[in-house]
Amino acid sequence: MKTVRQLLQGKGNEVSTIAPDATAYDAMILMAEKNIGALLVFDGRTLVGIISERDIARKIYLLEQPARQIPVNEIMTRQVVCVGPERTNEECMALITDKRIRHLPVLEDGRVVGIISIGDLVKDTISEQRFIIEQLEQYIKGER
């Protein structure tokens, strides 16, 4: 299994962020423009939360207010589950499953160096399985 560091080397380290005083509407627009499912919420240089499509869909509905009036800090998830770059795909899959989340910010030396999603982990797992199958097929055919 690959490490988070290896996954980030393949996908890149771009992290999309938003300020806690931005609106939920701003967050929705940014996620739509970037075709992503979550934004890290930073107050200056400090990670203070994460806002996902799930947060927006569930919490805005319950607040019964327009998205343009709801600040991100009212609906963001404050307890951000993070991982280090040396964690494996398998460890991250277990964490995502256990915590019922879809995005994991990656911290190294106290700073965010990337973010991985359940989609990134599944894509890597499928790729690894495909490679193993190809190797086994070559072995069975006597090509190795």
Strand partners, 103: 117
- CB atoms under 10 Å from CB of 8, counted, come to 20
Model confidence, pTM: 0.87
Topology (CATH) of 4-141: CBS-domain (3.10.580)
For the chain, the structural domain boundaries read: 4-141
Kindly state the percentage of the chain with pLDDT values over 70.
99
Helix (H) or strand (E) holding 121: helix 118-141
Rounded Cα–Cα distance for residues 127 and 122 (Å): 9
Tokens of 7: 């996954």
Strand partners, 112: 107
115 confidence band (pLDDT: 50, 70, 90): very high
